[in-house]
Chains A and B, each alone.
Chain A
Amino acid sequence: MTRKQKRLAVIAGGMSFIIAAVLLVMFAFGQAVAYFYVPGDLATANVPPGTRIRLGGLVETGSVTRGEGSTVTFTVTDTIGTVPVTYTGILPDLFREGQGVVAEGAFVAGSPVFVADTVLAKHDETYMPKDVADRLKAQGVELSGKETVK
């Protein structure tokens, strides 16, 4: 190979790696990204079963019930809509009724119940997931306690 060809080969190799990376990122954005919803959105949003989403809102007071083993069911509300959620595992330390929560998971076909595999209520006693706080404020819900991180 001449010098010029060698150089071209190197540049082509580098470019193809970058193109592969770009395609991969685009593919991953289609696959591995979860949209955020509050219960009120779901009536109109029409989320197909099996699609991973994040569901945010407040844990409805009095809705937490413990089932078999470590399965917990509770209701997430944004005062406009409510969604029943079931979760198996250990709830975070700061999970409390009346407090903000984000559940990640999917709906199962033929059932209104949201099956969560991750529940977040993290890090700080005054923490309100930002997404939840924004949406609830936009809907005029009075938040109990401080809603910002100190």
Chain B
Amino acid sequence: MIIELGHYALVLALATAIVLSVLPVIGARRGDAALMSVATTGTMAQFALVVFSFGVLAYAYLVSDFSVNNVWQNSHSLMPTVYRFAAVWGNHEGSMMLWLLILSLFSMMVAYFGGNLPARLKANVLAVQGWIASAFMLFILLTSNPFARLTPVPAEGQDLNPILQDAGLAVHPPLLYLGYVGFSVCFSFAIAALLDGRIDAAWARWVRPWTLAAWTFLTAGIAMGSYWAYYELGWGGWWFWDPVENASFMPWLAGTALLHSALVMEKREALKIWTVLLAILTFSLSLLGTFLVRSGVLTSVHAFATDPSRGIFILGILTIFIGGALTLFAIRAPLLKAGGLFAPISREGALVLNNLILTVSAATVLIGTLYPLLLETLTGDKISVGAPFFNLTFGLLMSPLLVAVPFGPLLAWKRGDLLGAMQRLYVAAGLALMLALGLYYVENGGPVLAVFGLAAGLFVIFGSLTDLWYRAGFNKLSFAIAMRRLAGLPRSAFGTALAHMGLGVTVLGIVAVTTFETETVVEMKPGMTAEAGGYTLTFDGLRQAAGPNYTEDRGHFMLRKGEVDKGEVWSSKRLYTARRMPTTEAGIRSFGMSQLYVSLGDPMGDGGIVVRIWWKPYILLIWFGALIMMAGGFVSLSDRRLRVGAPRRAKAVAAPALEAAE
């Protein structure tokens, strides 16, 4: 009974969303306050219904109600509670429900925090959110109903894909969706502005916090997914340029560009049309990602469904929303008043460069991801575009950005002083180069080009510190006064510095691990030793063990560095009994920011086993950098200028205050 209530709530939510899609728009046209207010109440009602519906599905998973087909296919009563809960979105239907839940959550937050928005804008934004929600609810109800029942009721579930049975599943999809779907708000704001035919700096100020929030979560989601793949798949890689990864990375690149262009629009009233276009494109890439992952055109661990009707449905949604939005843009954009011109050497000039590089790089990722699909459709030729393509194009195109990042914040708005910025960055650049050379010498090895990569990462880190240094006035004021000024800087200044620093740390990690990592594949028998990264591993033999729904062979390794005992590593091969599916559980030990990664291969006939050992120097910096970027996002978000409640007043007060601080 409760299951049917959940289903019914979803149908009601669809009805609400349809009302929400129509009435507020009419209200905004006619200036009818009553119709416009439907947006807020409708959004709240829709959110409540979706939460209830999602809750019912989660309940079915928690109590292992195998009369629900979806639960039967993807759960098992012996799984630990946290996996049973996370299994809700570890399948196609449930993950679409999570998508919808997060979309409704964002709509609700716009309705709740948007008290200060002009009534027409708010009504239009919520209505556009309603269009998206309607489309996805129709999709769920018509093609992917998670509440379908099963008779007779099976006694036991078919278990979740073992690769997904991990704490990562509880965290990665919600974070990723908070990012990807969060960009829907930017999209809705863009469409609302186009419908209204009006756009100004205040618009950018309202959009920025949503962009920032979505960007921060997306950063977290991508980093989390990368770490998960790294430790779970046992291949020792952390990024595969897999189409599914690209699907989440493209909105990130476009979102990063949007974050920066909205800044120009907010401060200088320039780049208006471009920012609107970018807001549309960012969410379009999110939708494209959903299509690629959910339609079954790709086969990967993320592609749960290969039902063609689903693919066509999502393609329809994609066409209507992207096509419709771009058509509206083409009609309305010329009506928007273009912003002012500016000098190429200036803060806004630097931000344009940022946008140019980010969007072109995102375009190359898009081409590399879609080209094989296109070619196969057109000619039937099957090709694979993999890491070599992306490393070459994306890597090369992004590298000028790394050099440019520290300059941006040091240039003034309107007219910047490039020579002055260079003088301020001498120290950072010198330090970066010296440290990079030092690191290269200590780790002895790798191509000389790597020095530049390391230096670029370090330069971005030191550059962001330089920015704070000069803003606080450490160069000309006494230490005490500068410290006080530092504490008084707007939080957004720290946010920028942290986000840039995080980027530098991630780049440093990527270059360092790619350059200095070592890999050994050896056959080992008990008592034999192997070397990696200065550590000696002694294989101690295999032990049998059993978990709740699997059995495993655990390899035990003793670790030493020289004569010093460094503990042990366990690395295992599991067999999940319900699906008869083997998985590799890598043994990972962290030493500072570096890791030793041990993966078991096949047993040989003579009692030995193939062991793959990686030494991954500084690899944790990759994700540590992402954490710093996220921290930057949250710090910026807490800046009172961006607080959604107070955009109007802050506009008058904060703008001169900031100019004074520079």
**Which A residues are within 8 Å of any B CB, using their own CB?**
3, 6-7, 9-10, 13-14, 17-18, 20-21, 24-25, 27-29, 31-36, 54, 66, 69-70, 88-91, 93-94, 104, 122-125, 127, 129-131, 148-150
Contact = CB atoms under 8 A, between A and B. Distances in A.
Contacts of A14: 356
Interface stretch (B42-50, B279-287, B357-365): B357-365
Contacts of A17: 356-357, 360
Contact of B397 (A21, A89, A93, A122): A21
Contacts of B300: 123
30 contacts: A3-B341, A7-B341, A13-B344, A17-B357, A18-B360, A21-B360, A24-B392, A24-B393, A24-B397, A25-B367, A28-B392, A31-B389, A32-B392, A34-B386, A36-B382, A36-B384, A69-B522, A70-B601, A89-B521, A90-B599, A90-B602, A91-B602, A93-B234, A94-B581, A122-B301, A123-B301, A129-B299, A149-B299, A149-B304, A150-B304
Given A17-B357, A90-B599, A124-B301, A35 B383 contact: yes
Given A14-B356, A35-B382, A125-B580, A29 B371 contact: yes
Interface of B: 73, 161, 163, 234, 296, 299-301, 303-304, 306, 341, 343-344, 349, 352, 356-357, 360-361, 363-364, 367-368, 371, 381-386, 388-389, 392-393, 396-397, 521-523, 573, 579-584, 599, 601-602, 604-605, 610, 612
B408 to A, nearest CB: 16
Contact of A90 (B161, B382, B392, B610): B610
Nearest to A56: B382
B554 to A, nearest CB: 15
A90 B521 contact: yes
Contact of A6 (B301, B343, B382): B343
A25 B364 contact: yes
Contacts of B352: 10
B388 A32 contact: yes
Given A90-B601, A90-B602, A91-B602, A70 B299 contact: no
Given A21-B361, A31-B392, 12 more contacts: A9-B344, A25-B368, A69-B522, A69-B523, A69-B610, A70-B601, A89-B601, A90-B521, A91-B602, A130-B299, A148-B306, A149-B299
B80 to A, nearest CB: 21
A7 B559 CA distance: 63
A129 B384 CA distance: 12
Contact of B389 (A7, A33, A88, A149): A33
A66 B301 CA distance: 29
B573 to A, nearest CB: 8
Q: Which 10 A-B pairs have the closest CB atoms?
A: A90-B601, A32-B388, A36-B382, A125-B581, A32-B389, A123-B301, A93-B582, A130-B299, A70-B610, A28-B392
Nearest to B360: A21
Among A28, A89, A125, residue most surrounded by chain B Cβ atoms (within 10 Å):
A28
Contact of A93 (B382, B396, B583, B610): B583
A94 B565 CA distance: 35
B382 A131 contact: yes
Nearest to B344: A10
Contacts of A9: 344
A29 B388 CA distance: 10
Contacts of B584: 93
Among B352, B357, B382, B383, residue most surrounded by chain A Cβ atoms (within 10 Å):
B382
B601 A149 contact: no
Contacts of B296: 149
Among A35, A69, A150, residue most surrounded by chain B Cβ atoms (within 10 Å):
A150
Nearest to B584: A93
A66 B579 CA distance: 27
B521 A33 contact: no
Nearest to B389: A32
Among A7, A14, A25, residue most surrounded by chain B Cβ atoms (within 10 Å):
A25
Contacts of B392: 24, 27-28, 31-32
Among B296, B352, B392, residue most surrounded by chain A Cβ atoms (within 10 Å):
B392
Nearest to A21: B360
Contacts of B344: 6, 9-10, 13
B612 A36 contact: no
A118 to B, nearest CB: 9
B525 to A, nearest CB: 13
A92 B515 CA distance: 25
A34 to B, nearest CB: 5
Contact of A69 (B161, B389, B521, B605): B521
A125 B415 CA distance: 60
A20 to B, nearest CB: 8
Given A21-B397, A32-B386, A149 B303 contact: yes
Contacts of A91: 601-602
Contact of B363 (A21, A88, A149): A21
Contacts of B367: 25
Contacts of A35: 381-383
A18 B161 CA distance: 43
Given A6-B344, A34-B384, A124-B161, A25 B601 contact: no
Nearest to A32: B388
Contacts of B601: 70, 89-91
A35 B385 CA distance: 9
A27 B396 CA distance: 13
Nearest to A133: B299
B356 A33 contact: no
Contacts of B580: 125
B604 to A, nearest CB: 7
A66 B606 CA distance: 12
A23 to B, nearest CB: 10
Contacts of B385: 29, 32-33
Contacts of B364: 21, 24-25
A33 B81 CA distance: 44
Nearest to A88: B521
Contacts of B368: 25
B398 to A, nearest CB: 11
A117 to B, nearest CB: 12
A62 to B, nearest CB: 16
Contacts of A20: 397
Contacts of B234: 93
Contacts of A89: 521, 601, 612
Contact of A125 (B523, B579, B602): B579
Contacts of B363: 21
A55 to B, nearest CB: 11
A34 B383 contact: yes
